[in-house]
Copies of this chain bind each other. A is one copy, B any other.
C-alpha cells in the first residue's frame, strides 16, 4: 500500500509529459517569464534531475550524465550546447520508463531502504533518508517547475 505514494508521483510525470511532448521546438524556445528559463531548459532540467535518481536509488548509473552540465550546473543560455527538443524528449522518455520499471518491483521494505547518499551509520540515526522520501522530494521538484512551465500556456482557466 505504501507504493501508492510513488505511483501518485509518477502520475504527475504523465501530466508533465503530455504538456511538453505537445510542444514544437519553436514553442520550447519560449521563456517562462521575461528573462527566465526557456521551456526546453526546464524540461531538460527536470529530466536530468530524475536521471540522478538511478544512482541515488541504487538502480545503476545515470543514463545521460552529459545532461548535468547542460541543464543543472549551468544556467540556461550558458556557453554549453544543449540537447535539441528531439533529444530532450528521447532522454525524458527513456529515463522515466526505466525509472518506473525500476520502482515497480519494490516491496514496502525496499522503499524504506536507505538511499545511496546516506551511510549505513547515518541511516540508523535518520531513517527518513530512504528511497521513498527521495522520490517524493523529486516529485515536489517536478511540480515546482511544472507550475512555472504551464504559465506559458494560453489561459483557459486561471492559475
Interface residues of A (CB under 8 A from B): 1-2, 4-5, 7-9, 12, 32-33, 35-37, 41-42, 45, 75-76, 112, 127-128, 130, 132-133, 136-137, 139-141, 143-148, 151, 155, 157-159
Q: Does the CB pair B140–A1 fall under 8 Å?
A: no
Q: What residue of chain B has the Cβ atom nearest to residue A139's Cβ?
A: B140
Contacts of A157 in B (CB 8 A): 75
Does the CB pair B7–A128 fall under 8 Å? yes
Q: Is the interface of A mostly helix, strand, loop or mixed?
A: helix
Given contacts A147-B143, A148-B147, contact A133 B5 (CB under 8 A): yes
B4 touches A159 (CB 8 A): no
* Copies of this chain in its oligomeric complex: 2
**Judging by beta carbons under 8 Å apart, are B76 and A112 in contact?**
no
Indicate whether A1 sits within 8 Å of B128 (C-beta atoms), given known contacts A8-B137, A37-B158, A158-B75: yes
Please report the C-alpha to C-alpha distance between residue A9 and residue B132 in the assembled complex, in whole angstroms: 12
Closest to A42 in B: B159
Q: List residues of chain B with CB within 8 A of the CB of A136.
A: 5, 8-9, 136, 139
> Are A148 and B151 neighbours in the complex by a CB distance under 8 Å?
yes
Alpha-carbon distance A26/B107, docked complex (angstroms)? 50
Contact with A128, one of B4, B128, B133 (Cβ below 8 angstroms):
B4
Known A12-B140, A136-B136, A143-B143: A155·B4 in contact at CB below 8 Å: no
